[in-house]
Structure formats: C-alpha cells, structure tokens
Amino acid sequence: MTRLALVTGGMGGLGEAICIKLAALGYQVVTTYSPGNTKVDEWLKLMKESGYDFHAYPCDVSDYESAQKCVAQIEKEMGPVDVLVNNAGITRDMTFKRMDKPNWDAVIGTNLDSVFNMTKPVCDGMVERGWGRIINISSVNGQKGAFGQTNYSAAKAGMHGFTKALALEVARKAVTVNTISPGYIGTKMVTAIPQDVLDTKIVPQIPMGRLGKPEEVAGLVAYLASDEAAFVTGANIAINGGQHMS
C-alpha cells in the first residue's frame, strides 16, 4: 500500500529534501506552494528529471479557506493524506521595539495558524482510518527564544503545545503527532544571513562547528513517518548539532 505524504512548502530548502526522502522511501508525495509562486513548473520539471514525480498544489497555508480548498482537492484527486508534514514557514526578524502588527501576524499566520489550517482537514480522516502521522517543523528558537524573533519564537513554541495536546486526543487511534526542532540548517533561510554573522556569531554556537544539512532533518521526518515510530508521540525531537539541549 502506497502512503500519501503531504509536505507544505516543498519547494523550500528543507521541504525539498523531505519530499525527496519520502519519495525515495516509496511514499506518494504531494506538496504545496504559495499562490503566485512562478517557479513551480520549472521545479516540478527539474524534480521529474531527477526521477521524482511530485504533485504540487497552490495553497496559502496561513489562510484557513485556502487550506481547506487545497486539501479537499488533493484528497479528491490523490486520495487520503496519511502523513502531513507542516513545514512551510517564514521569518520576519526585528526587535520587539520595531515589531509591528503586520510582521507579527504574518509570522504567526504562516508558522502557527498554518498548523491548525492544514491539520484540521486531514486529522479526522486519519483517526477514522486508524493510522496517521502529523509532523510539525518547529525550531530551536521556539525552544529557547532568539533575539529579534518574538514573532517566530512565539509561533514555533506554539507548535509544541499544539503537538502535545493533539497527540493526547488521537493517540488511541494510532495517529502520532510530533515536532522536530532544527537548529541552523544550510537552506536559503539561513544562508541569507550575512556570511560574517554566520562565521562569527552562529557557527561558533554550534558544538559540531557546522550548519546542519536538510537531508539530516529529512531523515528524522522519515523516521517519524514510519511504522517503526508508532510509539513516539507528543515528542519534540531536537536536531541542532548540540546547540541547545533540553
């Protein structure tokens, strides 16, 4: 039986690695992209040339109606979602003194409301079928807070509460809900940070002395999605090169 995995933000650095890993393991992979993203056809072609036949649907994950419509279309065309990876996310970093309402709302909407918006239309089906995996991509900065990230740290910390509460509600039906908290991973979200800041401030905080690789996070997603991880639920798994231990 081929399982269907829905990965939000699959065209991003982590999302692409997650899609590739799950596809390599035999999942049918569907992803979402932001409406207005003009590079989707090019990306799908590139993936196809590399041997990955992904399906992609437009969805603004921060918008409830957009998410319901998107998942309904996916389930109609592709079948029920067995694995949901809530990966789409953004940052809008600034100190709290400068933090305005639009930048607060954008980050809470895309990183936290999205988890509700996407989980809502798939969760009941997982419960009815007696199997499901919900995997939320949080951040080390949701565990420990970060300067200039009141919005992002709040959104990512909110995921942990959501994960633990929902895990309790669906555990009896063999649906697991977990969070992964990556540290600094070498995607464009991180490589956009000026190189001197990376070299002098960020990498020195990481005991392993390097950024993480998207494939390392994808490996953890694959584990949580597997049957072997059936007894892991309500967990937050850190993957940060030793930067933060709790």
Annotated active-site positions, please? 152
In the bound state, the residue with its beta carbon closest to ligand NDP is: 12
Separation CA 218–CA 241 (nearest Å): 15
- 171 near ligand NDP, rule: CB under 6 A: no
Of residues 195, 175, 191, the one with CA closest to residue 135: 175
By CB under 6 A, the count of residues binding ligand NDP is: 29
Q: Dihedral sign for Cα 101, 103, 108, 114, please.
A: positive
Find the binder of ligand NDP among 22, 87, 126, 133 (CB under 6 A). Answer: 87
Structure tokens that stand for 177 in this block = 């809900």
Report in angstroms how near the CB of residue 185 gets to ligand NDP at its nearest.
4
Point out which span in 120-128, 183-191, 193-201, 228-236 binds ligand NDP (CB under 6 A).
183-191
The amino acid that residue 184 corresponds to is Y
Closer CB to ligand NDP, 99 or 190, in the complex: 190
| Spatial CB neighbours of 76, under 8 Å, sequence gap ≥ 6 | none
Q: Which of residues 6, 19, 30, 60 is near ligand NDP by CB under 6 A?
A: 60
Residues 237 and 159 sit within 8 Å (Cβ to Cβ): no
- Site for ligand NDP contains 84 (CB under 6 A): no
Q: Does 190 bind ligand NDP (CB under 6 A)?
A: yes
Assess contact for 21 and 15: CB atoms under 8 A.
no
Stretch that binds ligand NDP, among 29-37, 72-80, 124-132, 165-173 (CB under 6 A): 29-37
**Edge-first strand listing for the sheet containing 4-7:** 55-58, 28-33, 4-7, 83-86, 132-137, 175-182, 236-239
208 CB neighbour count, 10 Å cutoff: 12
Would you count residue 32 as binding ligand NDP (CB under 6 A)? yes
Which positions touch ligand NDP (CB under 6 A)? 8-9, 11-15, 32-34, 37, 59-62, 87-90, 110, 137, 139, 182, 184-185, 187-190
